[in-house]
Amino acid sequence: MSTVFIISAPSGSGKSTLVDKVRQIVPQLDFSISYTTRPPRGNEQNGREYFFVTREEFGCMRDRGEFLEHAEVFGNCYGTAKRFLDQARSNGHDLLLDIDVQGAAQIKRKLSDAVCIFILPPDRRTLESRLRTRSLDKEDVIQRRLVTASREIEKYREYDYILINDRLEDSVEALKSILLAERLKHSRTETSADDANTLAIAERCRLSNVGERVQPILASFATAVTPGGR
């Protein structure tokens, strides 16, 4: 049985780094590379980070019904091709989708058993610092991303797991544990001590168990958009 994992996060939350590291240590995990109409950034390569296509090409794929989900973000189109899900199921692998909250909602409507994971930055100040450090965007784009992040994190209750990306090593371990814990649900083997630890780490990230840790993060974004905030 293949499980579809959806991972969403505000831009700059470190999602791509987490996904890259987890893909190296979790076996039988396929990854869906999204299609986009935006130009490559930095050292991005076609077919590695994204499939870079023209708006015309994207539109043709959409009209042919080739996308599992698609959305427009910051003036650019993004989409997940259905073929990745078909391939994962054919191979008996799980599928990891790195998509925004719009796309996640579309997928969840079609695949109600998909497991949704939302990655949060420790606070707004940290997110802003990360956006500036990567030096990919101009000031007006950074501010727009911060405003969008404030809206996106309000959707966190629609996800099954919440991962606060503070220390990379801990976050990688938490994400790995979530993926493996979901697999253990469908396993018929006896739970080992390592399995029990994996389940415990994943359980700490469940939506129902993160309320106290999430509230200060939400407050840091709320303060920033009220009168007198940045």
pLDDT mean over 42-53: 92
Q: Is the pLDDT of residue 23 over 70?
A: yes
Q: Is the pLDDT of residue 225 over 60?
A: no
pLDDT of residue 22: 96
Q: Looking at 54-58, 73-77, 180-184, which range is the least confident one?
A: 73-77
pTM: 0.89
224 or 22: which leads in pLDDT:
22
CA–CA distances in Å: residue 189 to residues 175, 195, 228 = 22, 10, 57
Confidence band (pLDDT; 50, 70, 90) for 133?
Answer: confident
CA–CA distances in Å: residue 105 to residues 55, 156, 159 = 23, 12, 10
pLDDT of residue 224: 58
Confidence band (pLDDT; 50, 70, 90) for 229?
Answer: very low
Q: Is the pLDDT of residue 10 over 50?
A: yes
Question: What confidence tens digit (pLDDT) does each residue in 153-174 have?
Answer: 999 999 999 999 999 999 999 9
pLDDT of residue 90: 95
All structural domains of the chain = 4-31+94-225 (3.40.50.300)
205 three-class SS: coil
Confidence band (pLDDT; 50, 70, 90) for 121?
Answer: very high
Q: Is the pLDDT of residue 227 over 90?
A: no
DSSP one-letter string for 61-114: HHHTT-EEEEEEETTEEEEEEHHHHHHHHHHT-EEEEE--HHHHHHHHHH-TT-
Residue type, 128: E
Q: Is the pLDDT of residue 226 over 50?
A: no
